[in-house]
């Protein structure tokens, strides 16, 4: 029998972890699915009370659904595997009849894919139902989210980053890079919380968020003096350079590579920590 990975054994631990989602965080996932519906109800009440018409753009609704999926990925590690790094309580995880690799792959599957996918499907189904209803602020389908009047984005104070809307939305390289950016960004954010789930003993999500705020604060204190040192001329030159859609696509591809490397490093480091976890 293969002691590292066996498909039937892996399927069993995946099934066990999947069945544990409902008791461990079923109410949390339901809450995340109902938040956009609560916003729809709030806008309906506001429309009735003010006798005004409020319409919610499909792009905004899609962003809300995306945010709920991110929250699902953020909360899943601590809710499903919160005791995996505790000496006494984590024995149940260590004693599961599966190899460490199989248990770790199942953990990644549930946290990175299954829980966010449950929220995504639930939100989309609810959005379709709310769009069908004659009342409310949903009058377009979610897939009708392409802006038609995009002209410019204000960047760095008074400097304008002017992008041609036709080139911006029809550039194949930029569209593909943007899709990969969404995937790698979500992967990176979720892996941060999977990784910190193996470090912190209690209040794992809140401690991780505080650490991220601290890191962001340090980065801001570092970047602002650099921008002040280089001045508006160099910043303006950079803005003019990325007005070229191909240059902007190159930057997005570069960011994708960085996110992929960081995500891979977190996946490896988390697996190493779980492998050497003392129980």
Question: Which DSSP string do the residues of 1-61 spell out, in sequence order?
Answer: --SS--HHHHHHHHHHHHHTHHHHHHHHHHHHHHHHHHHHHHHHHHHHHHT------HHHH
Tokens representing 247? Answer: 């240059």
End-to-end Cα distance, the chain? 25
Question: For a pLDDT cut of 90, what percent of the chain falls above it?
Answer: 45
- Pick the closest to residue 239 from 166, 131, 176, 159 (CA basis): 159
Q: Are 184 and 263 in contact (CB under 8 A)?
A: yes
pLDDT of residue 152: 42
pLDDT of residue 233: 59
* Residue ranges in 82-171 assigned as alpha helix (H): 91-94, 100-108, 115-132, 165-170
Phi-psi region of 251 (alpha: psi -120 to 50; beta: other; left: phi over 0): alpha
Segment holding 178, helix H or strand E: helix 172-196
pLDDT tens-digit profile, the chain (279 residues): 457 889 999 999 999 999 999 999 999 999 999 998 888 888 888 777 665 556 777 888 888 899 999 999 999 999 999 988 887 777 878 788 889 999 999 999 999 999 999 999 999 999 898 888 887 777 787 776 554 444 444 443 444 445 555 555 567 778 888 889 989 999 999 999 999 999 998 899 999 999 999 999 998 888 878 777 666 555 566 566 666 667 778 888 999 999 999 999 999 999 999 888 776
pTM, to two decimals = 0.83
Encode 144-180: b = buried (16+ Cβ within 10 Å), e = exposed.
Answer: eeeeeeeeeeeeeeeeeeebeeeebbebeebeebbeb
pLDDT of residue 159: 44
Q: Are 113 and 18 in contact (CB under 8 A)?
A: no
CA atoms within 13 A on the CB side of 30: 7
What pLDDT, in 10s, does the model give residues 80-126?
A: 999 888 877 778 787 888 899 999 999 999 999 999 999 999 999 99
pLDDT of residue 242: 63
């Amino acid at each position: 029998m293969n002691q590292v990975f066996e498909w039937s054994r892996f399927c069993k631990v995946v099934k066990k972890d999947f069945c544990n989602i409902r008791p461990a965080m079923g109410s949390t996932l339901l809450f995340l699915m109902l938040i956009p519906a609560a916003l729809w109800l709030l806008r309906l009440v506001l429309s009735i009370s003010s006798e005004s018409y409020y319409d919610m753009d499909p792009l905004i609704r899609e962003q809300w659904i995306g945010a709920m999926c991110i929250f699902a990925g953020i909360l899943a590690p601590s809710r499903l595997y919160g005791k995996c790094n505790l000496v006494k309580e984590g024995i149940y995880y260590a004693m599961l009849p599966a190899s460490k690799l199989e248990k770790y792959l199942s953990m990644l599957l549930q946290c990175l894919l299954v829980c966010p996918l449950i929220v995504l499907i639930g939100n989309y189904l609810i959005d379709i139902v709310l769009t069908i209803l004659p009342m409310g602020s949903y009058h377009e389908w979610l897939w009708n989210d392409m802006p038609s009047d995009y002209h410019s984005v204000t960047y760095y104070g008074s400097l304008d980053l002017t992008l041609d809307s036709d080139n911006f939305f029809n550039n194949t390289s930029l569209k593909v890079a943007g899709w990969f950016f969404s995937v790698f960004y979500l992967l990176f954010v979720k892996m941060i919380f999977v990784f910190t789930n193996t470090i912190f003993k209690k209040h794992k999500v809140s401690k991780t968020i505080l650490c991220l705020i601290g890191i962001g604060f340090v980065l801001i204190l570092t970047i602002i003096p650099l921008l002040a040192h280089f001045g508006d001329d160099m910043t303006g030159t950079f803005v003019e350079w990325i007005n070229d859609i191909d240059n902007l696509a190159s930057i997005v591809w570069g960011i994708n590579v960085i996110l992929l490397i960081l995500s891979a490093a977190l996946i490896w480091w988390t697996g190493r920590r779980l492998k050497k976890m003392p129980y």
